[in-house]
Amino acid sequence: MLSRFRLSLRPWLVLGLLWLLVVVVDITWLRLDQAPPAWDQGDHLSRAMNHWRVLQQPQLFSAAWWQTLWQQAPTQRGPLIYLLTVPLFFGFGPGADQAVVVNLLLAAVMLISIYLTGRRLFCSQVGLWAAGLSLLSPTLAALRITYLLDFGLAAVFAVALMSLTYWWTAPTERQRWRWVPVWGVALGLTLLTRTSGLLFVIPPLVWAVGVSVGRRRWLWLLQIVIGGAIAAVVIWPWLSTNWLTIVSTTFGGAQAGVIYRKSPQFNTLAGWLFYLQVLPEIVSAPVLLAALGAWLVGLGAIARGYWLSEPVERSKPANQKLFLGATRQGWLWLLAFLLGIYLLGTFGPNKQPRIIIAFFPAMAILLARGLTLGRSRPWQGLRWGAVMLSTGLLLARAFALPDANLLKVAKWPPYQGDRWPNAAVIDAITRDMPYLQSTLGLAVNTFAINPQNMDFYGALDQFQVNGRQLSFSSETALQDSRYLNWYLTKTGDQGNYGSIEAGQARLKEALETADTLSVFQRWQLPDQSELRLLRRKSPQVQVQPLSQPPTAVEVTAVDIAEALTPGQIFPITYQIIGPGLALQDGLLLLTWQPLNGNNSDRPVWISDHAIGLGQLKVDRDQATSEQNFQVTEYLAIRPPDGLEAGRYQLQARYLNRRTGESWALSLPTVQVDLQANLAAPPQSPPLDLVTVLRQLALGLPTGAIDPVFAEVGRINQYDATQDYLRQTEQAMTYRLAQSPDRLDWLYSLLLAQILQQKAPEAIATLEIITRLSPDNPYNWAYLGFVHLYSWQPWQADRALSRAEQLQPDLPNLRLLQAIAAALKLNLPRTIKLLKLEGVL
């Protein structure tokens, strides 16, 4: 019994030693590397930091908190790896190296899963060799020392493949049922890592369904349905919150491979051969060649009519002779998976080795079986020679050993040159503006200096700075150069790529020639170029601490021209004092009321916004939170078109954004005359984003959706946290409580709610809008769309039918009705509507 225990323990000791070896090598590499994270790595690190921030104040019984958590991963890049990284941030502090450690934990999961799958299909020896080969994959090794989702996807799917294999090859129905919830959860976690996990989920399930139907094993089909339902439950909270952006970014990411990476397509020979050509990068050339040679010898042996010795476990008779080892069912299962993945990967528009890397566990088992076909010395020399050669080549590529330059393959040595100033840039901003949340606009996009990694470094500094890409179009470059306090430019190579190149160049020119900006600090970069941090000479918001004791919030000064013209933009300056927290939590409800009467039917002109535009940042746990501050806002104002001429006076009210308390504010008497045909001043600050959003909302009654969302996509870069949406929602909610029938305010509230993905609140607002304006077909179409977003097809169909009655040719109406029919599983109506829309 003791010998059996030792025998069963031996594989786990080997796996443990292999994992410790990986830990030593990878930690050494990370210690040596001084490079900042690149584009995708910076983006993933920022998202992990955002999850960490939300989880610092958990509210497990709050639906709003859960929605906020799921919204931190709004694209096809699921939240699982970020959530697994958060405990490392809590334990070791946030940082890039700390985040990469999650890959070491996932490497252990992968080793165990591959070993168990190989052991199930063949024997322990095959399982061990397959697990060991996963450490020699150049693609996996490169992914393991960087923070991307691909290694996590491979590790999580290795668990799914293992549990599916145990389920599919189970000898009894009782054992099969035990594995159903395991693989159901594993498949859900695979999709929760990244939606491209569908590429690996589809082949085994399609094969299982086909075999089950062919053999009329209806109980197996029931198990597949139950496992799929479990997977759906796992992914549903995230998917239901973000499904629209998940779908759009999945298709957008696929097309990026065609446009930017020039991926060969399936209708070309290069497309069909792509993954065969990169197989040495995925597997390791020596291992691949040795395994192929072993299989050729083995197949030749079969053709000649004799068998090779099967490597057996000690518990089996010594004279047992086998060749394939696995059952026919197991072999078909493994090969169907590999062929299915290859076909789906070939048909995919975006082709990279890392995209298909999650199929490696199955490939490793196939290769390991080839390497272990024989037990004689030549066979041992073949497999150990391949392993030693692959190990040497891998270390040469990872650490740039002396012979590494002789390799005509990709290398990833640690960067040990001069440090890049990413953190220094963030430090310069926070030192100059310690009480403001800042957005840093970049007119540079290189491997080391880019919006994604600057956003990550800003998150490391108390989330006080956000990095953002600007000027996706050259037409918006001048506007983009006016909104922010801080910008980065660079001499030499700008690193621009694709469709943003012209916009980046135009933005750089606008920034460096603007008389409202000046160079705040310069850094000499390791590539001998110069990085320049530009600062606005007169920021829109300025904050100064005061020495006087705490007082109530007070508007002490308002500076504006005596006469204005409707539809024209004029500068205005507000000066507010008060305690730090009260200012940070405060909304200014500013109303310009006509002096010649107080008729409530006359339109009023409002300029609501958060104090300091929501940019104030005061630490609630420090004494400065109760210290008085003076906030000066240099903003712009635009009286609405069509407003009657006359004299107007400003009234102000304070609304606490956290508690909902409000009270009237004292302020100096401020009056203006509205007159026609006055010339606007030549220079004025840009309009605040709350005002811009309210103006955009005026297009909703006429169905002008595309211009609205195009503009929102641009201004979202200026407010990286999209706090202006919350400001609009809170201000409009308060005002509508006093004047519930104001349609223009309702549309502003609706737009803010939709952009925050607050479907229940948007439905409630639309029900009011459709009651007040029942003859507008767009209102009913909006209501139908939001019901669809909330997975309520019956309610959506009723609203869309009402829109059809009012205007049968409403754009995209049939498409929305087709989606509603599909959700109701009404396939004939779906097809009919899609044909009428021209989709089919």
Instruction: Tell me: pLDDT of 307 over 50.
Output: no
Helix, strand, coil percent content, the chain, rounded in steps of 5: 60, 10, 30
Mean pLDDT of 116-131: 92
Band of pLDDT at residue 359, cut at 50, 70 and 90: confident
Three-state SS string across 219-282, please?
A: HHHHHHHHHHHHHHHHHHHHHHHHHHHHHHHHHHHHHHHHHCCCCCCCCCHHHHHHHHHCHHHH
What pLDDT shows up at residue 497? 58
180: which 2 tokens? 């159903």
Q: How far is CA 613 from CA 7, 152, 234, in A?
A: 68, 39, 39
Q: At what angle do helices 743-755 and 689-697 cross, to 10 degrees?
A: 110
Band of pLDDT at residue 251, cut at 50, 70 and 90: low
SS3 category, 595 = coil
Per residue in 74-110, pLDDT (tens digit) is 988 999 999 999 999 999 999 999 999 999 999 999 9
What pLDDT shows up at residue 774? 95
- Residue 131 near residue 369, CB atoms below 8 Å: no
E-strand ranges in 43-137 read: none
More confident residue, 623 or 151: 151
State the DSSP code for 838. T
What average pLDDT is seen over the chain? 88
SS3 category, 611 = helix
SS3 category, 339 = helix
725: which 2 tokens? 């949406």
Which has the minimum average pLDDT: 36-45, 205-214, 718-727?
205-214
- Residue 589 near residue 605, CB atoms below 8 Å: no
- Residue 553: Cβ within 10 Å count: 22
Band of pLDDT at residue 664, cut at 50, 70 and 90: very high
SS3 category, 476 = helix
570 vs 681: CA distance, rounded Å: 7
What pLDDT shows up at residue 585? 94
What pLDDT shows up at residue 730? 97
Per residue in 722-776, pLDDT (tens digit) is 999 999 999 999 999 998 999 999 999 999 999 999 999 999 999 999 999 999 9
Percent share of the chain, pLDDT over 90: 62
What pLDDT shows up at residue 322? 38
Which has the minimum average pLDDT: 302-306, 519-523, 733-737?
302-306
Report all structural domains of the chain as residue ranges with CATH numbers, in order of start. 10-389 (no CATH), 422-536 (3.40.190), 540-687 (2.20.130.20)
Mean pLDDT of 625-630: 83
393 vs 396: CA distance, rounded Å: 5
Mean pLDDT of 264-284: 83
What pLDDT shows up at residue 355? 86
564 vs 677: CA distance, rounded Å: 9
What pLDDT shows up at residue 694? 95
What pLDDT shows up at residue 496? 63
- Residue 724: Cβ within 10 Å count: 24
What pLDDT shows up at residue 680? 76
Host H or E run for residue 654:
strand 646-656
74 vs 240: CA distance, rounded Å: 11
Mean pLDDT of 210-236: 92
What pLDDT shows up at residue 621? 63
Q: DSSP string spanning 539-582?
A: -SEEEEE--SPP---EEEEEEE-SEE-TT--EEEEEEEEEEHHH
E-strand ranges in 324-448 read: 438-442
What pLDDT shows up at residue 312? 41
Per residue in 782-830, pLDDT (tens digit) is 999 999 999 999 999 999 999 999 999 998 899 999 999 988 888 888 8
Mean pLDDT of 399-421: 76
